[in-house]
Amino acid sequence: MRLPRAAGILLHPTSLPGPHGSGDLGPSAFHFVDWLVAGGQRLWQMLPVGPVGEGHSPYMSPSAFAGNPQLVDLGELHERGWLAAEELADPPRFPDRRVAFADVAPWRAARLARAAARFADTASPQERAELDAFRRRESAWLRDYALFMALDEHFGGRPWGEWERGLAVREPGALADAARALGPRVAAHEFVQWCFFRQWARLRAYANARDVRLVGDVPIFVSYRSADAWSQPHLFELDADGRQTAVAGVPPDLFSATGQHWGNPLYRWPAHARDGYAWWTARIRRTFELVDLARIDHFRGFAAYWEIPAGEATAVNGRWVPGPGEALFDAVGAALGPLPVIAEDLGIITPDVDALRRALGFPGMAVLHFAWGQPDGSANRYLPHNLDHATVCLTGTHDNDTSVGWWAAQSEAVRRDVRDYLATDGHDIAWTLVRAACASVADTAIVPMQDALRLGGEHRMNLPGTANGNWGWRFTWADVGPAPADYLRRLAELYGRLGEAGPGLRPVPASAATAS
């Protein structure tokens, strides 16, 4: 699949400005779309938008199908009459440039609970009918998710394998009793999901109407603490009691000497194959109900994945195990048609991974930070003159330092090579790399917002291999000013990235644009 020649920005919605401690689907999201248009940017890439899990990571989600409650715009709930003005007035003094998750998450959750309760008491017949229609439309996953989240709260976040056995193994009588006992909380979780999907559809329609396409992110794995693993344990490497036998990660690499021990449950791929990859088909269908393009995270795991015994503390003692390969994507493609997918093919990429990506026709990724000074000799594949058209070129990803931070950490030898290659003195390295990405032959150039704002390493989004202190970066509109949009638009003009939407950009499905 060839993507049109275009440019975009990587920014997770939680990083947006806003009055309630975290970016959301409120006015700043619409203003960001307008800012993208002003800057000639046609793509908004974001991290996964499902509920977050341990460490507030969007890659450790309790559901592959639900939306993140933290992204719900509380102001819209007030406009609908489900939150009183005093419930949003005088919020705590949350920081403007950081999500203080420990304070923000419970404050927002309390307001969502109040809105759900007020809806239950005061909703009109039309509003109730809309929510009921949503429940029916999303019945394949919503009830399990809502009950799982209510039970997770009830058991204080304990792993579901440690719940009462009847609930852990999903005995029908135990589930029915729990659903009755926890009925208001189950209904509240369903209500919040309805709010998320209503608001998301409105934002996507606004973006698409302005020729801005949303680029989503599909984590290859879900969390063990998830409705998916609990409701369909046969699809995961779990024992008869629902406990993990092996977990996911990656071996030692440039990011970590001990590898990355993610802890996600691994898939039981033969079971997925027997089901015709139905769960994955449903998951990808949901993805394209939300976004126009999708980055498949850790694509190399579909060729082979790193299996770590469940008791290991690090990722060192693992092994490579063959993945499902083309069979999975053939099944999904047969059900859904051509897939506008970007393969995240960074890290340890062996010939079989590259062959799989090329066979599927998915564009890969190139990160300019990796183009110089790599000890494994892989540098040249990321140099702009060695890229091919079917590539997404980025200065860095959410896992990289900012370009300013990256530059500060380089040796003088690497800096010399960069200066020579890019004909720069290095004084403005962020915008120099932005220009290099835009000038490259890669069809798509995407820049983290931190690099568009020329920010230092203290604004990094994530440090791989660390469990805490990540995902919280935010900016304010006062940080932006006119220069970044002007510069980005000029680069898009210079390097042919302003054209009309072309092949490979999926139109907005009617169900997404008109969802109630």
Which positions are catalytic? 297, 344, 399
- CA 258/CA 243 separation, integer angstroms: 24
139-158 residues labelled b (16+ CB within 10 A) or e (exposed): eebbbbbbbbbbbbeeeeee
Q: Provide the residue count of the chain.
A: 516
CA distances from 481 to 275, 315, 395, 403, 478 (A): 52, 43, 21, 20, 6
Q: Collapse the DSSP code of 6 into the 3-class scheme (helix H, G, I; strand E, B; otherwise coil) and give the result.
A: strand
Residue type, 368: L
Contacts of 137 (CB under 8 A, 6+ apart): none
Q: What is the DSSP letter of 509?
A: P
SS (H, E, C) 298-320: CHHHHCEEEEEECCCCCCCCCEE
Q: How is residue 122 written in tokens?
A: 């005061």
Cβ-based neighbour number of residue 476 at 10 Å = 12
- CA 142/CA 187 separation, integer angstroms: 10
Strand partners, 10: 45, 448
CA distances from 218 to 41, 287, 311, 344, 464 (A): 22, 8, 27, 10, 18
CA distances from 470 to 101, 465, 473 (A): 10, 11, 8
Strand partners, 391: 364
Residue 17 burial (CB < 10 Å; 0-12/13-18/19+)? Answer: buried
Q: How is residue 303 written in tokens?
A: 């060729």
Q: How is residue 370 written in tokens?
A: 């990796």
Q: Which of 226, 242, 504 has its CA nearest to residue 390?
A: 504
- Give Cα 343 to chain centroid, integer Å: 14
Q: Which of 152, 150, 77, 88 has its CA nearest to residue 115?
A: 77
